[in-house]
Amino acid sequence: MKKIVVVVDMQNDFIDGSLGTKEAQTMLPRLKEKLQKITASGEADLIFTMDTHGENYLSTQEGQNLPVEHCIKGTQGWEITPELQAFVEKARTVVEKPTFGSMELIKYVGDAAEVELVGLCTDICVISNAMLIKAAYPEIKVSVDSSCCAGVTPESHDNALAAMKMCQIKVQ
């Protein structure tokens, strides 16, 4: 059984696009360095997730609550940042997800001894997927590398990390 690192939603719209933040831009070099070490050592398999919406996004429940078009499939904003494309090519799989958490992702992590999550946004998609993995596989070690995540705001990032700690997800 191997470690899996889930790279959550490192897409252009969340970095420097319609929902981008300076925190996401600042975190990106640290994440790239981490992925370089992981792939060089072979210590873990990578899985990428992609927030994926259609042209009808604004008419969906999410779009009604967050009326900012983002990650529309086929657009530049939907694509994973060019800085991480070399790692996408080495990944076990890429999971397109229509909402925050992914039930499909759960299928790919059940054989792991440990699952670590990194990426965007700590307070929405990272926490959602960490909680789903922990609920589906309570004996798998689930962790989050807080230095390789960014939230919508620094405060919401910290709140999400605290919530995950309370649910026995290791925050490093």
Report DSSP state, residue 73: T
Strands (E), the chain: 2-8, 44-51, 93-97, 112-120, 141-150, 170-171
Residue 1 pLDDT greater than 70, yes or no = no
Q: What is the pLDDT of residue 33?
A: 98
- Judge if the upstream peptide bond of residue 167 is cis by omega within 30 degrees of 0: no
Burial label, 29 (beta-carbon count in 10 A; 0-12, 13-18, 19+):
exposed
- Note the pLDDT tens digit of each residue in 81-90: 999 999 999 9
- Whether residue 111 is predicted with pLDDT greater than 80 in this model: the reply is yes
Mean pLDDT of the region 51-66: 97
| pLDDT score recorded for residue 34 | 98
Q: How confident is the model over 150-168, as a mean pLDDT?
A: 98
For all residues of the chain together, what is the average pLDDT? 97
pLDDT band at 14 (very low <50, low <70, confident <90, very high): very high
